[in-house]
């Protein structure tokens, strides 16, 4: 992240809560599942080059939540691949959310 404070605020908005821990003044961690976390760190040289993909139990609920908090998402779907929502953070890093077929009964 080039601007840690702006990025932190954006991720709080995106994830709907403050970080679970902040190991240092310019690092934050959100635990999403027992084996999965999002780690945000200030690093101006790498800002904008990140890519994160998150499988969700309920993509519709995520889409509604993003809309409610004003986070713009672009929908992508290609052939038999699961529907995806793509957002860009304040630095241009790409975050993709998709409906996990194993968890949705599909």
- Residue 106: the pLDDT is 47
pLDDT, tens digit (0-9, with 9 covering 90-100), for 57-66: 889 999 999 9
What DSSP assignment string belongs to 71-87?
A: ---EEE--TTSPPEEEE
Which residue ranges make up each domain of the chain?
Answer: 4-104
| Reported CATH class of domain 4-104 | alpha beta
pLDDT, tens digit (0-9, with 9 covering 90-100), for 19-57: 999 998 999 999 988 878 888 988 877 777 888 888 888
Instruction: Judge whether 2 and 91 are in contact, CB under 8 Å.
Output: yes
Q: Which of 18, 16, 67 is nearest to 8 (CA)?
A: 18
Instruction: Judge whether 4 and 42 are in contact, CB under 8 Å.
Output: yes
Mean pLDDT of the chain: 87
Which pLDDT band, with edges at 50, 70 and 90, does 104 fall under? low
- Residue 71: the pLDDT is 93
């Amino acid at each position: 992240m080039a601007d840690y404070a702006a990025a932190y605020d954006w991720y709080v908005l995106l994830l709907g809560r403050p970080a679970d821990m902040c190991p240092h003044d310019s690092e934050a961690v959100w635990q999403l599942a027992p084996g999965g976390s999002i780690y945000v760190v200030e690093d101006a040289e790498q800002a904008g080059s990140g890519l994160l993909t998150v499988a969700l139990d309920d993509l519709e609920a995520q889409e509604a939540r993003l809309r409610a908090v004003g986070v713009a998402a672009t929908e992508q779907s290609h052939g038999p691949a699961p529907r995806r929502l793509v957002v860009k953070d304040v630095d241009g890093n790409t975050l993709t959310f998709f409906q996990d077929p194993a968890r949705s009964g599909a």
